[in-house]
Amino acid sequence: MIVIGSDHGGLSLKTALKSYLTRRNIVVSDAGTETDASVDYPDFGLKVAEQVAAGSFDLGILICGTGIGMSITANKVPGIRAALVTDVFMARMAREHNNANVLVLGGRVLDEQKACDLVGAWLDATFEGGRHQGRLDKITDIEKKYN
């Protein structure tokens, strides 16, 4: 199951991605926003990140205008590895090397087809472990140091 959230700048892309995920037989929970009225991206970024960190969902997707704000917000939550991606290689590497549990996209910089391609590449990739796990362990140690 995936939880997805956006601000007003990502609402249109979120709607398209929900349809794409449903066609892939993936259950999707929508954490908001529901309208194109201006909202604050940290509210929705935190909501999705906390649900993933708590184990309520395996993965999350966040969308704001550029993806930058959502990425910054989500990565403040311990246990979250949010990756802002703009091409298929980055999406695949986010999973294979970084085991990203939240994918972040820019609703104002990606068209629907490209966003679906990125989500598909991320979902179809598998974490490689090995030397990459050691690097993730170092990130966890950093989180522990400052929390």
Tell me the CB-side half-sphere exposure of residue 135, using CA atoms within 13 A. 12
Q: Would you call 116 a catalytic residue per the annotation?
A: no
27-71 per-position pLDDT tens digit = 999 999 999 999 999 999 999 999 999 999 999 999 999 999 999
Looking at the whole model, is its pTM more than 0.85?
yes
Q: Would you call 64 a catalytic residue per the annotation?
A: yes
Read off the pLDDT of each residue in 80-109 and give the average, rounded to a whole number.
98
Superfamily of domain 2-146 in CATH is Sugar-phosphate isomerase, RpiB/LacA/LacB (3.40.1400.10)
Catalytic site residue from 8, 64, 116, 132: 64
Domain boundaries along the sequence of the chain: 2-146
| Cα-to-chain-centroid distance, residue 49 | 8
Calpha distance 135→15 (Å, rounded): 34
Calpha distance 104→129 (Å, rounded): 22
Q: Which residues contact 93 (CB under 8 A, 6 or more apart)?
A: 125
